[in-house]
Structure 1
């Protein structure tokens, strides 16, 4: 009964309620995940790219049921990220627990390697520290050896420096603040592992291990390197691939070992508009090699599981999923929300009576005045394969150019928005040669309060609706397929914009937003 209650409120639940879980454990775009265990708690982090606040931190007691507890930083460094930078920002972080502190390292491919620490993963996190200024260094992972020596292993972004198949390592100050040596090559994947990246380093039973994805996001596989010496030479072995399973590119993630002796590997799968969703594979060890998933072939390369017995953590824990719906009754935004760039406090305010107030913001200077260029779009991830989003808007316009609405955002996007004439349906693209938008349909409305809805069906096919009473919903526009963004999935977004050069006093009150998995909608 408890499981059914949760399913009515949440869009995707990995815990099957019978001692088993289903993959993905997170049907949302938590790209490039890394995971650790500290005592009987588990923590997972992921890439956030140009969105802020950045690098979400999730907590679990059983590796299956997760909730968001913090972000590592509020804003990206440099004014460069005050404008929308699709695909830039914080890439592939690593999380570790060392000497009573939590450490997160990540790369900003255009600027360098950054680090933050916290005594509590729920925050506060220390201000970002630049460990190494470098262009094209990505996916850093710290490692502290038994003798106290510290190291940093990392990969390269071909788009920034022309390299995509090498892993290098440096000695590092034990406090993680600086590197102590020039990088040394520890693995060249040119022969068998093109596009090797995302290294995660461990030590087990006298071996140094580097877990690294290779072969590219969708067609790739998970490689494990091992050596008796920290700088190698390293043997390599493919341990997980798609095989005959429907899970493409099963790679890039982290290993976690339980007090019970079990080992598990958490990784992502690219699902286009749904983003890079998170799976978990059982791991066993043979001859000091990890054997992942099931249905190993003659080379002991495993395939991802779709359902498996839950990790043995000693007890059962409540079913949870990351937050989606928001009644906007708290003093701060829910942790599921991120802006499209560095954000400003004057963009919004929260009030228990009126909800979330978004103030009309002008389009960026020298822009094409499209939503894809606006940093002030407030977004969250797609949370499931099928779901419905409904929100209540009260629009207060002070200019004919003000508009506020609900968007499905990606490289191509569509939105419905209230303006001075009623409700408009717009389609846009930010692909070359320039961002453009096209009005598809307009409906006249007498009410400034309206309910907006989008229903997402399998394969990310979306349909917008609206209602003036919250009961009878009318279609607006044709169904369309959501599109992914740059390294990210499609997003659900809220916005309030104006074409006035100076900000005016127009605003929208978003009373609430509710995300449900409630089947088909009957439209009039």
Structure 2
């Protein structure tokens, strides 16, 4: 029998929620400041996933998110299917709780509307009761609301357009011994019980709890149903309870892997004689397990891109709401990024950085980079971006074109780590970033057009650089082109990138 290994998605898919409709499983994740946001993944077997769409082309507060707002934006969303529609309810901790719908998860999705305005309302999840009423459970962010560690339920209209009655705290974590940072609730019904699945104890150090009550308003009793124990799976955190067409139950949750982000695990789920869920191996996360569907082969979303189709694939996202003209992909095999003005020169400040998540296994990223433009300071390259970042690529100087490696942080300043002139007459190079199992990056370059497989032609730019986590996210790999504020740019100035080829654990991804 085929087994899968956890994590089933070894990359940053934070705060996953999922539903099954027929034979199809659909999953979404937090996207924070990134756009397009609300990534939609599809599976037929819970272990092989494809990134098929993004439900949110841009955050609705367009002006606010025209710049990167690290750590803000879309926090933990929920995904449900009701009355023939798919529903996403997501929180923006600075603006409120929002809703959007679609008949097909691949889209198009409706424009989001605000169900509950306010600051600090997080992690919402709706439930439609068989009696025709609807409820919403949510948590609280102390950074915005001044309170946390509690779960609130409020009745809403079935169309999720407005509040119907007063909100009530149904679980106060301060009253539960040892509980802290109770958040991420998901609301369900089964066998006459209302269930709230919610983690507590912190993202990297906590556990998963199940609460149940005969009334949506409580009182709720609880049990810890998944904890690290003697396994390497720290802080098994919030996720989704799903079932199979055959009636088996499973639980998807995340684990915080630092620089690699919040990776997704799949746990078998059963029930004890008292009607409580049993997750994993008697409450311990499993590392391997037989696949849910016979013959299923585990697999992750595609990363490489030959740019042979017009437009950007779902796997790419920006650091802020995109503007027209940030990318040109005509289907001819290249991506052109027009140089964007960068007031401080910091890539953390630049929305026009086109990114993917850093895989959780050793990976190699390779592409060709060409730079057009005579304005000194114009540059294009590949960046590994977190709270601190490093990039390698090309920069125009007053005397020519150079290969450079630079690093920067939250203060906006960059440090030149290495630089050397490009061979005379060349406008481009092949560039690669080799990332090891700890997230250390070794940058290399060679003359463009070197025969594929000629590894001896690569020049390492500098010793390895350790990647850093982002704000609530793992590190990312991105492409960019920028120029100093006030630079005189001609049409076409910027960076052109050839196919992006990614290998993960030695296999093309």
Same fold, TM-score > 0.5, yes or no = yes
Matched, 1:444 2:431: no
- Find the counterpart in structure 2 of residue 9 from structure 1: none
Bigger drift between 343-352 and 240-249 goes to 343-352
Q: Displacement of 1:519 after TM fit?
A: 4.7
- Find the counterpart in structure 2 of residue 86 from structure 1: 70
- From 178, 200, 211, the equivalent of 2:197 is 211
Q: Displacement of 1:336 after TM fit?
A: 0.8
- From 228, 237, 241, the equivalent of 1:242 is 228
For residues 98 and 237 of structure 1, do their structure 2 counterparts lie closer, same or farther at Cα, with a shift above 3 Å needed? Answer: same
Partner Cα distance (2:82, 2:309) in 1: 34
- Find the counterpart in structure 2 of residue 509 from structure 1: 496
**Conserved? CA contact 1:401–1:500, under 8 Å:** no
Provide TM-score, normalisation by structure 1: 0.91
**Conserved? CA contact 2:74–2:90, under 8 Å:** yes
- Find the counterpart in structure 2 of residue 33 from structure 1: 16
Partner Cα distance (2:416, 2:30) in 1: 33
SS where residue 213 of structure 1 aligns? strand
Bigger drift between 349-358 and 38-47 goes to 349-358
Q: Give unpaired runs (5+ residues) of structure 1.
A: 1-17, 297-301
Alignment of 1:325-474 (within 5 A): 325-353=304-332, 355-364=334-343, 368-420=344-396, 421-430=401-410, 434-446=411-423, 447-468=426-447, 469-470=449-450, 471=454, 472-474=457-459
- Find the counterpart in structure 2 of residue 490 from structure 1: 475
Q: Number of aligned pairs?
A: 489
Partner Cα distance (1:436, 1:277) in 2: 31
- From 221, 232, 239, the equivalent of 2:207 is 221
SS where residue 216 of structure 1 aligns? coil
Question: 1:69-94 CA deviation, whole Å, 9 max, x = no partner?
Answer: 11111000111111011100000000
Question: 1:91-121 CA deviation, whole Å, 9 max, x = no partner?
Answer: 0000000011000001000000000000000
Q: Displacement of 1:436 after TM fit?
A: 1.9
Structure 1 segments of 4+ aligned residues over 6 angstroms from their partners = none
For residues 37 and 502 of structure 1, do their structure 2 counterparts lie closer, same or farther at Cα, with a shift above 3 Å needed? Answer: same
- Find the counterpart in structure 2 of residue 289 from structure 1: 276
Q: Displacement of 1:398 after TM fit?
A: 2.9
- Find the counterpart in structure 2 of residue 8 from structure 1: none
Question: 1:441-486 CA deviation, whole Å, 9 max, x = no partner?
Answer: 1011022121110001111111000011443111001101111000
- Find the counterpart in structure 1 of residue 165 from structure 2: 181
Q: Displacement of 1:330 after TM fit?
A: 1.0
Question: Over the residues paired in the alignment, what is the CA RMSD in angstroms?
Answer: 1.4
SS where residue 429 of structure 2 aligns? strand
**Conserved? CA contact 2:306–2:333, under 8 Å:** no
SS where residue 266 of structure 1 aligns? strand
Partner Cα distance (1:465, 1:178) in 2: 55
Q: Give unpaired runs (5+ residues) of structure 2.
A: none
Partner Cα distance (1:467, 1:337) in 2: 25
Partner Cα distance (1:390, 1:450) in 2: 11
- Find the counterpart in structure 2 of residue 311 from structure 1: 292
- Find the counterpart in structure 2 of residue 11 from structure 1: none
Partner Cα distance (2:2, 2:84) in 1: 33
Partner Cα distance (1:483, 1:316) in 2: 38
For residues 265 and 518 of structure 1, do their structure 2 counterparts lie closer, same or farther at Cα, with a shift above 3 Å needed? Answer: closer
